[in-house]
Amino acid sequence: MPVTNSALNTLSQLGLTLSPKPVYDIPLLPLDITDLDDEALMELFVQFTQWTDHLAGAKAIALINEREAERAVTVAEATAMLNFWTGAKGGDKITIVKAQIATSPEVIELHDDYNKKYAFRKLIETRAENVERDSQLVSRELTRRTSDMGSLRSRTRKFTT
């Protein structure tokens, strides 16, 4: 059983799930975030948070898949080494065996699969970092507004009591 399925089954047994993909696209930040009213800003924050949660799970799965592919390459190369090795002595022989392993169709295919999974993981990781950064910007704007409102309220109370 692949580790990914095993990890997801274990997660499920613990009563946990990965966050589902939101039903809407990843939102875009407006050029001027201060143009948004409070409700729109909060809605944007919720959307970024849901995408951050979803992408964190996707990133974990991508990392597990990459690790499985890397392990498959290692096992195939070790198996090929055992199959190609004749026990002959000399540096030239080991170089030839390594070349046979590297050009083996199975090893080439597994390396290609590993490289695809590595590239996918990097893309998911980059997307997750971008969404997280956008979410942090929205969070800072929410904090700024809350802080401004707090000081405005305290000044209002100060002059009306």
Dump the DSSP string for 140-153: HHHHHHHHHHHHHH
Q: Is the pTM of this model over 0.85?
A: no
User: How many of the other CB atoms lie within 10 Å of CB of 124?
Assistant: 19
Residue 6: Cβ-neighbour burial (10 angstroms; 0-12, 13-18, 19+): exposed
Residue 90 is predicted with a pLDDT of: 65
Q: By the 8 A CB rule, do 85 and 97 touch?
A: yes
pLDDT by residue (tens digit) across 7-31?
888 888 898 889 999 999 999 999 9
Instruction: Report the distance separating Cα 89 and Cα 109, nearest Å.
Output: 30
Say if residue 154's pLDDT is above 50.
no
Which of the pair, 86 or 105, is modelled with greater confidence? 105
Where b means 16+ CB within 10 Å and e means fewer, 35-45 reads ebeeeebeebb
Single-letter amino acid, residue 5: N
Q: Which two structure tokens, joined as six digits, stand for 71?
A: 């392990």
Mean pLDDT of the chain: 88
Which of the residue ranges 21-25, 76-80, 82-86 would you say has the lowest mean pLDDT? 82-86
Quick: pLDDT tens for 32-75. Answer: 999 999 999 999 999 999 999 999 999 999 999 999 999 999 99
User: For the chain, how big is the Rg over CA atoms in Å?
Assistant: 26
Where does the pLDDT of residue 157 fall: very low under 50, low under 70, confident under 90, or very high at 90 and above? very low
